[in-house]
Amino acid sequence: MITAYELLMSAPGSQAKRAQIAFKAISAGRWLNAALALRNAADEEEDKSGNWAVAARKLAEYCERVDQKYYEYLCAKAVMLNDGCGLRDNKEEIL
C-alpha cells in the first residue's frame, strides 16, 4: 500500500489540496476526516480507475479501519473504567 506522503507527492494538480488535507488529518489522528478527504478526491478524479484514485480509495479504507480500531479501544477503556460505551453518540467529542 502507498503511504500518505507518497500519495500526497503523486497527487494530480486538481487533487493536491485534498491530498494535503488528508495527510494533515492522518498526522493528527483524525482518521475519519482523512478517509472523507481521500474518498472525495478519488471520486472527483477524472480517471476514477487510475492508479492514484485506486490508491486513494485503499488508503481511505485503511483510515476507516484504523478509526474503528481506535473506537473499539476507547470503548474497551470506557468499559474498564465502568463508564459505559456511548462514545459514538457524539462523534465530535472524539474527533
Q: Which residue has the cell 459505559?
A: 84
pLDDT (0 to 100) of residue 60: 95
The single-letter DSSP state of residue 30 is: -
Q: Which residue has the cell 488535507?
A: 21
Q: What is the pLDDT of residues 47-79, one digit of tens each?
A: 878 899 999 999 999 999 999 888 888 777 777
**What are the grid coordinates assigned to 13, written together?**
494538480
pLDDT category of residue 26 using cuts at 50, 70 and 90: very high
pLDDT (0 to 100) of residue 71: 84
**How large is the average pLDDT for residues 9-16?**
91
pLDDT category of residue 46 using cuts at 50, 70 and 90: confident
